[in-house]
């Protein structure tokens, strides 16, 4: 059963990931939905999910099928990418290859292979009590620069600060994972060519 903390954190993790999507679509070539394109590879930032007290963050990238001729080359690409991703700061909890058959309008068959990467975080990894205290002191002294989010069900500034930090951390974690995936794709593409 989800707790109130879990539900609120999950909501603000998703807000952070929405900010990340906007950031990546500004930095790279935007695509529909939660996707963007960089170096002819499409990336997607999924919505987070709450499962057994942990928040899951999912990112994915299309496997560049145009550059790979055989199923063996596809498997080799995936295997090399999986190895490269595993050397990031945080090890992924799951890396798998997915196949999507339907086109975006569901009216045509269009086969694509993706690498899906999932990272899991305990709720406490999204905030730091020392950082909250520091921000609260800045808020009390009038030197806090950011605007606190208006959250109807949260009545204290400390609660708002925590949720603001959750959103920021989610964006930071997601950005790091995307940078790892982008670098891994570049490394594997160079190695295969």
Q: CA-to-CA distance for 111 and 104, rounded, in angstroms?
A: 11
Q: CA-to-CA distance for 139 and 146, rounded, in angstroms?
A: 9
Q: pLDDT tens digits, residue range 18-74? A: 999 999 999 999 999 999 999 989 999 999 999 888 999 999 999 887 777 788 888
Q: pLDDT tens digits, residue range 150-171? A: 887 788 888 889 999 999 999 9
Provide the residue ranges of all domains of the chain, joining segments of one domain with +.
4-192
Task: Report CA-CA distances (Å) from 191 to 53, 76, 83, 181, 184.
Answer: 39, 11, 13, 15, 10
């Amino acid at each position: 059963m989800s707790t109130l903390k879990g539900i609120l954190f999950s909501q603000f993790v998703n807000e952070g990931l929405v900010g990340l999507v906007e950031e990546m679509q500004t930095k790279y070539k935007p695509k529909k939905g939660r996707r963007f394109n960089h170096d002819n590879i499409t990336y997607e930032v999924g919505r987070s999910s709450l499962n057994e007290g942990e928040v899951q963050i999912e990112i994915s990238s299309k496997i560049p099928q145009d550059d790979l001729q055989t199923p063996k080359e596809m498997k080799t690409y995936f295997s090399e990418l999986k190895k490269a991703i595993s050397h990031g700061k945080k090890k992924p909890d799951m890396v798998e290859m997915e196949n999507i058959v339907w086109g975006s309008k569901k009216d045509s068959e269009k086969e694509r292979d993706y690498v899906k990467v999932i990272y899991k975080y305990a709720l406490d990894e999204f905030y730091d009590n020392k950082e909250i205290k520091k921000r609260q002191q800045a808020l009390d002294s009038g030197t806090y620069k950011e605007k606190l989010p208006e959250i109807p069900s949260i009545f204290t500034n400390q609660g708002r600060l925590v949720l603001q930090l959750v959103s920021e951390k989610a964006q930071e974690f997601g950005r790091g994972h995307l940078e790892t995936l982008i670098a891994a794709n570049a490394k594997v593409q160079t190695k295969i060519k």
